[in-house]
Structure 1
Amino acid sequence: MPTTYPTPKLVIFDCDGVLVDSETLSNQVLADNLARYGLHLSLADCMDLFVGGTMAEVRQKAIARGADLPADWVAEVYEETYARLRQGVSLVPGVSDLLALLQERGIAFCVASNGSEDKMRITLGQNGLWELFHPHAMFSAHTLKTGKPDPDLFLAAACHFDVQARDCLVVEDSENGAIAAARAGMRCLGFDPHGKGLRLTRHNAEHITTMAQVPHLIGL
């Protein structure tokens, strides 16, 4: 007998690494920047340490590992990151088809990110998605002053759409995002296209490697 999967009333997407393939670009900028301040990390180490965190948390972790960062470092690294992203960032393969299917089936969706709206304007804007999410389906830690792994971003999205947590689905690529989904009481698909998703599945996320898997897993 085939498995029956629940269809959510709201799908909540992370942005970087889920909607847009920006994590590698952003973390290479970060690794290059930190090297100038005495902390030498490989791209892989940088991503393991920092993906899914706020930049304030990144700063604290970097200082704890020996980086000598100036007081205005967060603004500096944002400027360098935005400049790199403006050069071009692609959508994650399959995202456009998935969003079109959700629209066709009348299922609400939104983005909830630890990143800023300015960053999402750059990454989503150059791919034609800014107007799809902004302003009524966009939840930023910078705006709401709360970030993952706290569940507040996800709960704010559910409240905005008048949907119960049990009827939400989160699509995340970071451990902080998976933790936030678990704390919010929401089902989570953990997107890890090149690995086994262990940092996600240990927080009850279901591992996926492509966006093409999502429709089946939500009963569409």
Structure 2
Amino acid sequence: MHDLVIFDCDGVLVDSEVISNQVLVDNLAHHGLHLALRECMSLFVGGTMVGVRDKARAMGAVLPEDWIDQIYAETYDRLRAGVPLVPGIADLLTGLDQKGIPCCVASNGSPDKMKITLGQNGLWDRFKDVMFSAHVLGTGKPDPKMFRLAAEHFGATAPVVIEDSHSGVTAAIRAGMRCLAYAPHGGGEKLADLGAEVITDMSQAHGLLGL
């Protein structure tokens, strides 16, 4: 039995990736880089915004020095308009509670962003004291440090990570942790190749976690 479940936030707890990436698509188009939404998500999901900026510039985007502040502001405004929970997450959290299995969040996103997305869904109070952010730690996925710190915090010896990105799965595998990769829209083969067990619906996690 696992003694800790570590959730990524965007795309795993809250269905925010499409929203955030559409903001990115629209913004980059104004700076000379035209991408389709699916292409944008393939390139950038799971990365840090510094990494997004550098990759976009390498692809020809002419970005101002304060671009990161600009894109955060645009993204936060859009997220405040409403972000739903990922289907099945509420039931999964209930199942973990019934088994007494603790859980936490580990994300490359900022606490400010998670306060917006989790706050409107009733999860901020649940996770605010067990939240590991690359913005706070100074290092993000695919570095496994975030996951290792989370396990240390709980004294967990058999943690499992639920992720949706290449960088997140890589971090989990590097940390020596079991990883479930949520891939509802395809692309699971690449995550499986990294060592994850792919699920396409959160209800599948119940059996895999022994709930």
TM over 0.5: yes
| Matched-pair contact (CA < 8 Å) for 1:17–1:23 | yes
What amino acid does structure 1 have at the position aligned with 2:168? G
CA shift, 1:163, in A, is 1.2
Corresponding pairs, count: 211
Gaps of 5+ in 2: none
1:188 to 176, 179, 200: 179
User: 4+ residue runs of structure 1 moved beyond 4 angstroms?
Assistant: none
- 2:60 aligned residue: 66
Q: Distance in 1 between matches of 2:188 and 2:102?
A: 26
CA shift, 1:139, in A, is 0.5
Deviates more, 1:195-204 or 1:142-151: 195-204
Aligned-partner SS, 2:203: helix
What amino acid does structure 1 have at the position aligned with 2:89? V
What amino acid does structure 2 have at the position aligned with 1:130? W
* Structure-to-structure mapping, 1:68-107, within 5 angstroms: 68-107=62-101
- 1:3 aligned residue: none
What amino acid does structure 2 have at the position aligned with 1:160? H
CA shift, 1:196, in A, is 4.8
Q: Distance in 2 between matches of 1:203 and 1:185?
A: 12
- 1:142 aligned residue: 135
CA shift, 1:202, in A, is 1.1
What per-residue deviation string (whole Å, max 9, x for no partner) do you get for residues 3-38 of structure 1? xxxx21000000000000000000000010001000
Q: Distance in 1 between matches of 2:172 and 2:132?
A: 14
**1:48 matches 2:39:** no
Q: Distance in 2 between matches of 1:141 and 1:85?
A: 20
Gaps of 5+ in 1: 1-6
Aligned-partner SS, 1:83: helix
What amino acid does structure 1 have at the position aligned with 2:208? L
Aligned-partner SS, 2:194: coil
| Matched-pair contact (CA < 8 Å) for 1:148–1:180 | yes
| Matched-pair contact (CA < 8 Å) for 1:18–1:172 | yes
**1:219 matches 2:210:** yes
- 1:36 aligned residue: 30
Aligned-partner SS, 2:62: coil
Q: Distance in 2 between matches of 1:111 and 1:199?
A: 23
Q: Distance in 1 between matches of 2:188 and 2:19?
A: 20
- 2:17 aligned residue: 23
| Matched-pair contact (CA < 8 Å) for 1:196–1:207 | no
CA shift, 1:107, in A, is 0.2
* % identical equivalent positions: 63
**TM value normalised by structure 2:** 0.99
**1:122 matches 2:113:** no
**1:171 matches 2:166:** no
- 1:159 aligned residue: 152
What per-residue deviation string (whole Å, max 9, x for no partner) do you get for residues 47-77 of structure 1? 0000000000000000000000011100100
| Matched-pair contact (CA < 8 Å) for 1:37–1:69 | yes
